[in-house]
Amino acid sequence: MNKFAVTITPRFYETDALGHINNAVIAAWFEVARVRFLESLGESEPSSAKDWILASFQIDFVAETFYGQDVVAKITGAEVGNSSLTVLCEMLQGDSVTVKGRAVLVHMDTSEKKPARIPDWLREKVAAYSS
């Protein structure tokens, strides 16, 4: 199975008054991991983000994330449907998993503005990340 990971250095303004990284920031980091993963699949020009819409996502907070230590956001699985792509993600700080995420994206025909079957070349690439 192929692996994809992004390293994120927490920023001070991403903390909140509870002293840890705010939960909405984690949702934003998950977008960073997803978008870079999609770009890595060979839809490499930034505009390719426009080919996908986010249908839903879920985040489980396993442990707090803190300022002062890098976070590694790993894509831990990816599954294709007809036009949908489910992406699993784990974030680790040090040796601890702090976050588990799951997002469902839909591949769009941007000219017709409706869902479009994920092309075969992309299915093959995603298959290498199947959990």
Residues near its own copies (CB under 8 A): 11-13, 15-20, 22-25, 27-28, 30-32, 35, 45-46, 49-50, 53-61, 67-68
* C-beta closer to its own copies: residue 15 or 83: 15
DSSP class per residue in 22-59? -HHHHHHHHHHHHHHHHHHTT--SGGGGGGEEEEEEEE
Rounded distance between C-alpha atoms, residue 38 and residue 24, angstroms: 21
* C-beta closer to its own copies: residue 36 or 125: 36
For residue 96, the minimal CB distance to its own copies (Å) is 16
* C-beta closer to its own copies: residue 16 or 124: 16
Q: Are 61 and 98 in contact (CB under 8 A)?
A: yes
